[in-house]
Each structure stands twice: as C-alpha cells, then as structure tokens.
Amino acid sequence: MPNTGKSTLFNRLTGSSSRVGNWPGVTVDLLTARVVLGGEAVEVVDLPGIYDLHGFSDDEQIVRRFLENIPLDLIAVILNATQLDHQLPMALQFCQLGMKPVILINMIDEADQLGIRIDAATLAGDLRCPVVMLSARHGTGMNEVRAALTAGIQNSTPVSLDLLRSTLHADDQLVEHAEALVKKNVFAPSRLVRKVTERIDRVLLHPWLGLPLFLLAMFLVFQAVYTLGAPLQDAVAYLLGGFRVWALEPLQAVLPVTLYGFLVDGLYDGIGTVASFVPVIILFFFFMAMVEDSGYLARAAFLTDALMARLGLDGRGFVMLLMGFGCNVPALMGTRVMRSRSLRLLSMLVIPFSLCSARLQVFIFIATALFTPQQAPLILFFLYLVSFTAAFLTALIFGRRLKSDEPFVLELPPYRLPVARQVLMRGWHEVHHFLRRASTFIITGVVLVWLLTHYPNASTPGGAGSYASMLGQWMSPVLQPIGISPDMSIVLLFGFVAKEIVIGAMVAMTGLEGSALTGYLHTQMDSVQAISFMLFVLLYTPCLSTLATQRSESRSWKFAGYSTAWSLFLAWTVSFSVYQGVRLFGY
C-alpha cells in the first residue's frame, strides 16, 4: 500500500541500482533492479502502491495485469506496522489466491515509539507464510529480509496469478479476518498518542498560519540553496575555466578554426556553463528530499486540500505539483493514483506549470547575472509563486469542465527526522535522473544551435546571414511586444525541446562564457525584460518529454496539443501584461 516505505525498502535492498523496464501486457514502464540472493541472480520489480487487487484505479489495474501476465517466483507484500488493521486485508488477498508471499512489516521503529507490539511468529503461523519485522529507513532487520526472500525463492515454483480473473472473497470477509488477526497478534495502547507530532501539527496545520508557514519554509529552502550554492557554482566555473586554458586553448594552434570553434567555443563552453549550475541543482534536490522525508509534504497536501477542492482538484494535485519541482514527467505519471479520469486530466493540465529543475537552472543563471545577491532569492521565490498561481488559475478555469466526485483520503505520517542515507540516496536518484536526461538534450541542443548560428553564411555567431538570425527575425513580431529580442527568440525555440538547452544555446549562439556572457545578457535585456523572459520560459510550453508523457498518460494527442496551446497563450499574456504594464510607469 502507499505510505509503507516501499520505495525506501526497494532502494535499501537493491542499493538504488535501479533501471526502468517494459513488461509484456503492461502499458507502462516499471522500476526494476537485479540483486544476488543465495547465490542466484534475482530481478526485483517495484510495482505501484495499491490499496487492493480489485483493480479500480489505473495503478491497481497495472498491478493486476502484471501479476496475470508475468510468471513470478515470489511476491513480497510490504505493510506499515502502525496500520496493520487497515493493511492486512490486501495481504490476505494474496494468501487466498494460493501464493505464499513474504510479509514484510516495515516501520517497526515508529511502532515501538507508539507502544505497539506485534507477535510476528504467531502471525506467520496464522497466515501460513513468512513474516519479517524491519525498519527500512534505519536498516533494521534487512538481513532477515534477505534470508526470507532467499528461502522463499528457493522453495517456490514459478506461477502466474491467472487466478486473479476468478472472484476474490468479499471485502467484508477479508476485513473481519484481518480484525481477528490483529486482535490476536497485535497489542496497541487504547489511544495511540503521538505527542510530538500533535504539538507540531497544532502550529503547522493551523487554519490561518499553516499555509503562510509552509510558504516561509519553502522560501528559506530557496534562500539556503542560493546562499550555499553560489560559492560552489563559482568554484566549478573556475575549475572548468582553468581546464579550458590549460588543456583546450593550446589546441587552437593545431585544429582547423571551424573544428576548434565547434568543439571548444560551442560544445565545451555550452556544456561547461550548464555544468557550473549542477551544485545548485544538487542542493535543491537534497533539501527537497529532507522536506519530503520529514513528512512535511503530506501536510502541504492537507493544508491545500480545501483550496484545491474549490479548483476541482484535491490535495494529491498539490503533491503532484511539488513533485513537478524535480521533473514534470514523474509527476504526470504519479496521477495514476487518481481513479477519476477527469481528475487525472485536470491534474495533468496544471502539472506542466511546476517550476522544474531545468527551468530552475535557467532562472538561477539569469538572476545571478542581472540581479544583486539580495534580489536573486526574491526573484526565484516570485517565480515559484507565479508557478502556483498559473496552476491554480488553470484548475479554476478548466475545473468546471473536468469535474470529479472522487473522495480524497490522506494518511498523515508522523514527523520523522530525515535519515542522512535516505536523503542522500533520494537526492542522488533525482540528480542522476536530471544529469542523464540533461546531458543528452544539452549536447544535441548545443550542436544544433552552433550549426544554426554559424551557417549558411555568418561572419559572427548568430549574425546576419545565419539561420538563427532568420528565425529570430521571423519570430520578432510576436515576441518583441513582450520585450524578447530576436537573439533570445532563438533560445526560446530550443527551450521547447528541453529547458536544459537554454543556457547552452546562449553560449553556442554567442561564443561567450563567464563574465563575457553576463555582459552580453546586459546588452540583450534589462531587469524588466529579464523578468518577462523568465515568466515566458516558466509558462510557455512543457518540454518534449513532458508533452510525450502527457500524450501517453492521457492517451490523446488532442489533449496534449490543447495543453500546449493554453500554456503558450498564458505565457504570452502574462509576459505582455507585466512588460507593458511596467513600461507604462516609465521603468
């Protein structure tokens, strides 16, 4: 089930050596990893979190199709030690189908704090399958987990759960059976007192103070990221510049002018400029991992549920928006937990307005170049507020057409002190995903921009006679009213492919880097134009990966195109209003 620490256990078991695989009969990719258990190579598949096997939601249907189509050696069912009364029925479903799953009862550290005691040996006898107690966050019981999985695999014969097509027992029978098992094997105080959590929630979930405190916390995260990241960013830029002078510039005397310009001025400088922002991106992911691991993001969903309900969404939609801070793609895929198609479509319409890490990189670069260190964090915070506002406005406008009556159920986990290993693993997973995805797009984009700015006939990069200049002039009538120059128009065109390309495109287009590139930006835009440009980049279109995911998750090119058209319209309207409005006051 959700909120059982399944992903934490998966990472702990596999060392986060995961990959994505496509499986027969399943329409989506699933996370897999290979580990060695008892001398055997075993492939572990991380299935979506589900509530039962009936198959109401998309995720539950995905699990059913997987279990029906794939011969399996073993199933591991992860349960939350503090919620066995709610979660045992799903384990009983597997047992009644003839499988002997390994039951892994996670979060025993939290159960101990609450005074909950579980008789695992007696419960295993009643269920007639192995039961292992563990804490995936702290690594407690992992040796026993591996031993149980190894024994389960060695004693099993491959089967396919074709029996899923038969009728499962009625829910009330499973619930009654689970209640009897809990009564016999679980001791819990009459009232589970979570004193620390309750005291903190009185403040952080306050009807009036809760949301402002959350916004303050997020602002402090941005401030910390920028304050700590700026020196690291300068250090990386210094090292890259030193390597260029020491190792690459001597090649100018050996290589042809065109080849040297392409490799050094284009490819290396473009990738190097982007690489200098990686420390800031890493810090952002690690801080967000700490916020998530603490249990605060679930509170954010609770705080915003009433507001989101008025917009046609629920608290899960807000969580998806927060997930989009890392990347819009997994956030769009996360909407599968919603049973209502209307609710999914509305959520997929608002998620692309999340300020993802690729956009963050662009904004940090421009804010650093054109604003003071005191102004830059405020600019970033302002852009995040605009991101939320655009999402809420979109939900308000389209929520009337995409109505949903699906109830929202949220289990608030207790506050937890972030575990360093889990924060590092989760942060590294996001960073690795960003770097892997960004590197492909950046290299491709920088090469294309260099070709456009140097051919067919350009005396200077991007000068008259180049393809880039022609494209810039062609887009000028549309973008000039919002303060975007023809050169920056080319950058926006490549930003549609991937926002990671934007900075590299500037470098490849101008042949400049470092302070020279900063000086060039000052010639292209003042502070008002910079804000207009950043607003347009924030809102104008999702990247191609996001667009493709929208299409696959919605199963409709029409919906993806509609979403893109709305984003373009909103971006131009907002940028035009801000730019022309400020200019009216003489700025």
pTM: 0.66
Residues in Cβ contact with 291 at an 8 Å cutoff, skipping those fewer than 6 apart: 217, 221, 297
| CA angle 383–317–288, rounded 5-degree value | 55
- Dihedrals phi, psi of 116, to nearest 5 degrees: -85, 135
Length of the chain: 587
Residue 485 has pLDDT above 70, yes or no: yes
- Cα–Cα distance measured from residue 362 to residue 383, given in angstroms and rounded to the nearest whole number: 12
* Tokens, residue 168: 């499962």
Q: 93-107: per-residue pLDDT in tens? A: 888 777 789 999 999
Please measure the distance between the N-terminal and C-terminal CA atoms of the chain and give it in whole angstroms.
Answer: 55
Helices first, then strands: H and E counts in the chain? 26, 8
**Cβ-Cβ contacts under 8 Å for 51 (sequence gap 6 or more):** 1, 2, 57, 60, 90
**Tell me, what's the pLDDT at 579?**
94
> 50: closest CA among 75, 18, 21, 23?
75
Q: Are 475 and 489 in contact (CB under 8 A)?
A: yes
Estimate to the nearest angstrom the gap between the alpha carbon of 429 and the chain centroid: 10
- Residue 106: the pLDDT is 95
Query: DSSP state, 285?
Result: H
d(CA 298, CA 280): 25
pLDDT tens readout for residues 530-574: 999 999 999 998 777 788 778 877 878 899 899 999 999 999 999
Q: Which CATH number fits domain 6-193: 3.40.640.10, 3.10.105.10, 3.40.50.300, 1.10.3720.10?
A: 3.40.50.300
**Chain mean pLDDT for the chain:** 82
Query: Taking every pair of C-alpha atoms in the chain, what is the biggest distance, in angstroms?
Result: 84
Pairing type for strands 29-37 and 18-22 reads antiparallel
pLDDT of 193 higher than 70: no
Residue 27: is its pLDDT beyond 50?
no
Cα 296 to the center of its chain, rounded Å: 16
Alpha carbon distance 113, 194 (integer Å): 9
Is the link from the previous residue into 352 a cis peptide, with omega within 30 of 0? no
The pair of structure tokens assigned to 357 is 């890490």
Distance CA 6, CA 78 (A): 6
- Integer CA distances (angstroms), 216 to 281, 360, 378, 385, 418, in order: 20, 19, 12, 12, 20
Q: Which residue has the higher pLDDT, 87 or 302?
A: 87
CATH 3.40.50.300 maps onto the chain at 6-193
Dist. CA 68–CA 219, nearest whole Å: 47
Mean pLDDT of 436-453: 71
DSSP class of 276: T
